[in-house]
């Protein structure tokens, strides 16, 4: 495994660690475009991914500081259209998957949402609560990598891949591919692009099929009126054109009680158009910064209180995501390219997609025939790499009125 920078220096190590599917937000779109059965499959996979991540952390990474915390989440909705859509979607999921965990949601009216979740009532329409969680994505990933290294994985950091080239059919030992790096080249029978927003740099077929986009996050010290033991749930705050997500740092961790909140893209000029195509995660957008700084007292109202004497915001950073025109990951072997594989384009939704997509890819690569035959029972066809999907082009911006993976990519031809 080669990593261009240091271990877990990309978006996985930079995100808020929100293991939250929000499947109801995309279910109706999936049902319309893919069919109800496929929509159910995606919803089940997302919940399975959330549970699998926390289960692995609890079983294998107890001493790695993952801050794994399965918990409830709530979507606080400040738009009438979004609230009606949420109720319709939850009803449709309950009908399609009766008594299944993937369709378990609690709906609260505005008064109950304000009371239960300490939020401002101004413009509030209701809340949707369901199973989710939070985790230190950096600690989780480094912990997994350590286990892999102990089992024989050779990990090279500060080793960027400059190019990937196909070797002649007569190559020695069946090696089909050469990965060029500043430190030399690596010959391999199989190569996997796990490069998300950076994939098109190595394979131009992904130009405009996986578009990088920079996201921004802030960490807020809690206000004086916030619960002393920290908030019990994670949050999303949904309005007409977009949303923000919020994760409280759990008790017993460094900076316990801090609130990590990200989003704000649509508040920038042209709905954040300049963040598309951007791969520089060392810079901040000052307009988004200003907006995110004000989110906590705005959403919590009088429940926020006075800012911490050391200042409201402790830290701020960015990370690069990858988006596709149809709003789905690319997972599988490249068409007509034996030995070249990909798992990328997670729509800013990687904490709910990456683990199960990696599991599916492992089955495709090394699984038994029985495992491969069972793959269709849990892995969506819509996520597989096809020539038709590679021909789609991202010509618009992302629809931020949804927090699920579908409806995010706009404009394909």
Pairing type for strands 177-181 and 211-220 reads unpaired
CA 88 to chain centre: 24
Q: CB within 8 A of 312, min separation 6: which ones?
A: 220, 221, 223, 293, 296
H/E element holding 335? none
Contact (Cβ atoms closer than 8 angstroms) between residue 214 and residue 198? no
Residues in a beta bridge with 180: 163, 185
Beta strands at 211-220 and 313-323: parallel, antiparallel or unpaired: antiparallel
User: What tokens does 144 get?
Assistant: 């997994």
Please report the pLDDT score of residue 406 as a whole number. 32
- Residue 352 is classified by DSSP as G
What residue has token string 């990200």?
262
Sheet of 106-109: strand order equals: 106-109, 126-134, 69-77, 234-238, 243-248, 259-263, 211-220, 313-323
**What pLDDT is attached to residue 395?**
73
pLDDT of residue 170: 62
Q: How far apart are alpha carbons 397 and 411 in whole angstroms?
A: 8
pTM confidence score = 0.93
pLDDT value for 19: 98
Contacts of 385 (CB under 8 A, 6+ apart): 330, 331, 332, 333, 334, 335, 342
- Look up residue 48 and give its two tokens: 């399975």
Backbone dihedral angles phi then psi of residue 288, each to the nearest 5 degrees: -65, -40
Query: How does DSSP classify residue 348?
Result: T
Q: Tell me what pLDDT residue 269 has.
A: 83
Q: Return the structure tokens found at 299.
A: 């959403």
What pLDDT was estimated at residue 396?
Answer: 63
Q: How far apart are CA 187 and CA 180, in angstroms?
A: 9
- pLDDT < 70 stretches in the chain: 170-171, 396-413
Is the Cβ–Cβ distance between 149 and 77 less than 8 Å? no
Q: Which residues pair with 2 in a beta bridge?
A: 156
């Amino acid at each position: 495994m080669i990593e261009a920078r240091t271990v877990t220096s990309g978006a996985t190590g930079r995100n808020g660690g929100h293991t939250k599917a929000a499947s109801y937000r995309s279910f109706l779109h999936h049902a319309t475009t893919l069919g109800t059965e496929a929509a159910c499959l995606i919803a089940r996979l997302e919940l399975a991914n959330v549970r699998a991540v926390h289960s692995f952390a609890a079983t294998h990474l107890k001493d790695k500081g993952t801050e794994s915390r399965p918990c409830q989440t709530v979507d606080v909705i400040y738009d009438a259209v979004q609230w009606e859509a949420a109720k319709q979607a939850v009803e449709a999921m309950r009908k399609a998957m009766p008594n299944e965990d993937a369709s378990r949601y609690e709906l609260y009216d505005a008064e109950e949402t304000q009371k239960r979740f300490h939020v401002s009532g101004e413009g509030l329409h209701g809340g949707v609560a369901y199973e989710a969680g939070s985790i230190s994505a950096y600690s989780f990933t480094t912990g997994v990598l350590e286990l892999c290294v102990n089992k024989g994985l050779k990990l090279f950091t500060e080793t960027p891949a400059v190019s990937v080239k196909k070797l002649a059919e007569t190559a020695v030992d069946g090696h089909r591919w050469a990965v060029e790096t500043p430190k030399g080249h690596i010959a391999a029978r199989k190569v996997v692009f796990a490069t998300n927003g950076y994939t098109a740099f190595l394979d131009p077929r992904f130009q405009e099929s996986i578009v990088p986009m920079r996201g921004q996050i802030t960490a807020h010290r809690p206000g004086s009126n916030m619960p002393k033991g920290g908030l019990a749930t994670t949050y999303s705050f949904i309005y007409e054109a977009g949303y923000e997500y919020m994760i409280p740092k759990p008790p017993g961790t460094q900076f316990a009680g801090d609130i990590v909140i990200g989003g704000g893209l649509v508040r920038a000029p042209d709905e954040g158009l300049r963040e598309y195509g951007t791969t520089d995660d060392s810079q901040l957008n000052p307009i988004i910064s200003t907006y995110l700084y004000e989110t906590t007292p705005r959403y919590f109202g009088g429940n926020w209180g006075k800012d911490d004497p050391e200042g409201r915001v402790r830290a701020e950073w960015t990370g690069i995501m990858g988006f596709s025109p149809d709003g789905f990951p690319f997972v599988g072997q490249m068409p007509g390219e034996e030995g070249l594989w990909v798992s990328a384009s997670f729509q800013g939704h990687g904490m709910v997609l990456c683990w199960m997509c990696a599991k599916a890819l492992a089955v495709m690569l090394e699984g038994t025939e029985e495992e491969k035959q069972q793959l269709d029972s849990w892995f969506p066809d819509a996520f597989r790499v096809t020539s038709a999907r590679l021909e789609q082009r991202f010509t618009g911006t992302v629809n931020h009125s949804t927090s699920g993976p579908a409806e995010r990519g706009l404009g394909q031809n």
